[in-house]
Amino acid sequence: MQNPIKLSIRFIEYLGGIHDIVDYAVMADEAGFDTVWFPHDIFMKNTWVVTSAVAMATTRIKIGSIGTNPYTTDPAEIASYLATLDELSRGRAVIGIGLHTNDMVEWAGVDCSHLLRRTRQTVSMVRGLLKGEVVQSETDDFHWNDQCYLRFTPVRDEIPIYVCAFGEDYLALSGEIGDGSLPMVTPPASAARMVACIDKGLKRRPAPPKAYDIAGCAWLSIAEDGAEAEQKMRAMISYFGSYLEAEAIAEIGLEPSDFDDIAALVKAGEYELAKAAVTPQMMKLGLVGTPHQVIEQIEELADQGLTQISLGGPLGPDVQKAISLLGKTVIPHFAMA
């Protein structure tokens, strides 16, 4: 491994109820993770409520909403949420603005055809609001007058804004305008391609940033028993595999149509059959195995240019044991690197 790497953790609502998720975040705080991320999916439990609860229950870990889309959440709402969370958490808020797929937002009839333009404008407007500026805007997407400014002073006027992105142009935009980028590295073998796209955007900046964080979001299933870890990952792959970026999965010889039969089984509620239909090649979509195996896989990601790994998905057959394993074995390994 050539590059130092930060480890963060990502919790989806399927891991349990709201109280379970908060408890897991407390465990992650105590285990030494850098950041805890929560995907902001529009038809799932509200991430902004979850992050607020976690801010009150933790003391050290940074807290972020990831995939905060610029369509169903307005820049004004994003800025006021972010500044309020930052105050509540005493300066630990971060955010990922953007999308990893259009599909879920388009379910609600949202047209995402100008995603890059809207993301660029949203990031700029949020930054302006945090700095106490009057953000007037007359564009194709926003019509703001001279009353558009925050009525309170944020604790920090510069809060890290990551851009969640997919596809070459969107990833490049994340490098151009973000304090960091949050690409989905599913499969992990796609990380180098994504880093190259982000680097194109970084080169567009008039001056290179002092620090830029490429935080790859990986699926993880870890356990002392590698076979148990693999079995748990099957559920994640069977449910979400059909939503993955075609260019990314091509890195391991897959294409979207490979998931058609599995997606049909999931839609029919045949979840066990769907899991059984996951192929060995599909298992390469995530980080899977024992602590030693996972450490080796994370080292490979670090060598591809990532500076942070956001570990999420099933985490393992037992979430609490997975967090404990990561805290006792994986985090110390990379802290010493």
Identify the band that residue 102 occupies on the pLDDT scale cut at 50, 70 and 90: confident
Element (H, E) at 325: helix 319-325
Give the strand pairing for 213-222 and 180-181. parallel
Residue 65 has pLDDT above 60, yes or no: yes
pLDDT of res. 305? 95
Q: What integer pLDDT is reported at residue 184 of this predicted model?
A: 96
Contact 130, 95 (CB under 8 A): no
pLDDT by residue (tens digit) across 135-157? 999 999 999 999 999 999 999 99
- Report pLDDT digits (tens) over 71-86: 999 999 999 999 999 9
The per-residue DSSP string of 217-235 comes to EEEEEE-SSHHHHHHHHHH
The tokens for 73 are 């959440």
User: Taking a C-beta distance cutoff of 8 angstroms, is the pair 248, 219 a contact?
Assistant: no
User: What spatial distance separates the first Cα and last Cα of the chain, rounded to whole Å?
Assistant: 8
What pLDDT band is residue 1 in, cutting at 50, 70 and 90? low
| Angstrom distance (rounded) from CA 259 to CA 240 | 9
Helix axes 115-130, 75-88, angle to 10 degrees: 50
Torsion of CA 179, 8, 30, 319, to 10 degrees: 150
Task: Give 202-247 pLDDT, tens digit per residue.
Answer: 999 999 898 999 999 999 999 999 999 999 999 999 999 998 989 9
Q: What are phi and psi of 246, to 5 degrees?
A: -60, -45
pLDDT digits (tens, 9 = 90+) for 254-297: 999 999 999 999 999 999 999 999 999 999 999 999 999 999 99
Report d(CA 27, CA 33) in Å as an integer: 9
From CA 228, how far away is CA 247, in angstroms rounded? 29
Q: Domain residue spans in the chain?
A: 6-336
Specify the amino acid at residue 165: A
In this structure, which CATH number among 1.20.1440.130, 3.20.20.30, 3.40.220.10, 3.40.50.300 belongs to the domain 6-336?
A: 3.20.20.30
